Amino acid sequence: MSAAIFHRPILAQNIAKRTLSQKGQSGVFISAPRRTGKSTLINEDIIPVLQAQGAEVIYVDLWSDRSRDPGDLIAQAIREHLQKREGAILRWARLGGLSKVSIAGIQLEIEKVGIGSGKTLAKALTELSDATRAMIVLIVDEAQHAITTDAGASALFALKAARDQLNGSAHHGFRLIATGSNRDKLSLLVQGKDQAFLNAVLFDLEPLGDDYLAWEREQYDGSLKPSLDAMRTAFTAAGHKPESLRKALDDLAFRFDVTAVQVDSVFLALLDNILADAKQGFMRQVNALPPLQATVLTVMAITGVDFAPFRPHTIEMYKEICGTLKQAEVNIDDSSIQYALEALRAKALVWKSARGVYAIEDSQHAIWLRENKR
């Protein structure tokens, strides 16, 4: 059985309302750190609300298969949704006077839907909108991956074309909800005049709050429960990640020696251990990297959005940090830096846009690397 879910109906209602309103037309972008509940909120709460309001919801997680091109994943999600609706599309086609069209014909049409070839996403989505007479909401989870490949970036522009067409008075509307685990990366999709979703709203998802903590505390079946205050302190320290909190609670349930007076402090100590282990595990991985890769990653963590991999001042920083890691001279030039960046990307430690902007994949990693430098 999967773990129980704390529902956030009011938040979901608000996001759905905003999305479906006129103001949601340019797109709604939601950012929250890793493992803090984005996908859960979308799937458990937002999608049901949107569907209850009559929207056709198409969901795609660009992290579901990292070996696949994000552009393909988007096109596939749309094709799969069209397949589910082939009955409605067939009825609509026949109503439009195409009496000879068959379900096999519709299926063949659906297979042709893609990016840059066959049938465009805009055309396919327009037909879906007309056939179902419903607003289409496409939800792209981990949308920052769309701009890591050219096909993904083209998919975004194809969606923009669909949006502009479907939001015309002849159709029933299109909305895009995109999530991402890093605000800086996500903002690359909505800023800059050549971005497909310019002017979309981008907001930070509020973390799970006291109501969630009270609920989690209620679920806990150990003999002594930590106080809500202690749980709040723990949850904040854990970066609002339910998994770390639950792990600390699981550990607490096996501490049979604890008295009521000690329970909060023991619980917080258990949580600290969990966080320290996570950090240590990551730092071990960093220490096992070739020196230049560890250096580039550290400099990226320190410089953040200003990271400019080949600039003289960045190279000075590499030299300084690399010198503290290794006694022997390490060759630092454009090609060795490029190689290190590519290796870090292949190890999924670093994210790279198709235009060559780099960032640390997991913002928690950046925090740990900076702590380590102090």
Ligand X SMILES: Nc1ncnc2c1ncn2[C@@H]1O[C@H](COP(=O)(O)OP(=O)(O)OP(=O)(O)O)[C@@H](O)[C@H]1O
Residues that bind ligand X (CB under 6 A): 3, 5-6, 32, 34-40, 181, 242-243
For the record, the structure tokens of 55 come out as: 């929207």
Distance separating alpha carbons of residues 25 and 176, to the nearest angstrom = 8
120/182 with CB nearer ligand X = 182
Nearer to ligand X, 46 or 297 (CB): 46
Helix (H) or strand (E) holding 73: helix 70-84
164 binds, among Mg ion, ligand X, none (CB under 5 to 8 A by kind): none
**Amino acid letter, 117:** S
| SS3 category, 326 | coil
Whether the CB-CB separation of 297 and 361 falls below 8 Å is answered with no
51 binds Mg ion (CB under 5 A): no
Q: Which residue is nearest to Mg ion (CB)?
A: 39
| 3: partner contacted, choices ligand X, Mg ion, none (Cβ within 5-8 A by kind) | ligand X
3-state secondary structure 207-261: CCCHHHHHHHHHHCCCCCCCCHHHHHHHHHHCCCCHHHHHHHHHHHHCCCCCCCC
Q: Which does 59 bind (CB under 5 to 8 A by kind): ligand X, Mg ion, none?
A: none
Least distance to Mg ion, CB of residue 61, Å:
7
Q: Which does 35 bind (CB under 5 to 8 A by kind): Mg ion, ligand X, none?
A: ligand X
Instruction: Rule CB under 5 A: say whether 43 interacts with Mg ion.
Output: no
Q: Are 17 and 10 in contact (CB under 8 A)?
A: no
40 lines the binding site for Mg ion (CB under 5 A): no
CB 5 → ligand X: shortest distance, Å?
Answer: 4
Stretch that binds Mg ion, among 34-42, 123-131, 193-201, 220-228 (CB under 5 A): 34-42
In the complex with Mg ion, which residue's Cβ is closer, 38 or 145? 38
d(CA 153, CA 145): 9
Question: Which chain residues interact with Mg ion by CB under 5 A?
Answer: 38-39
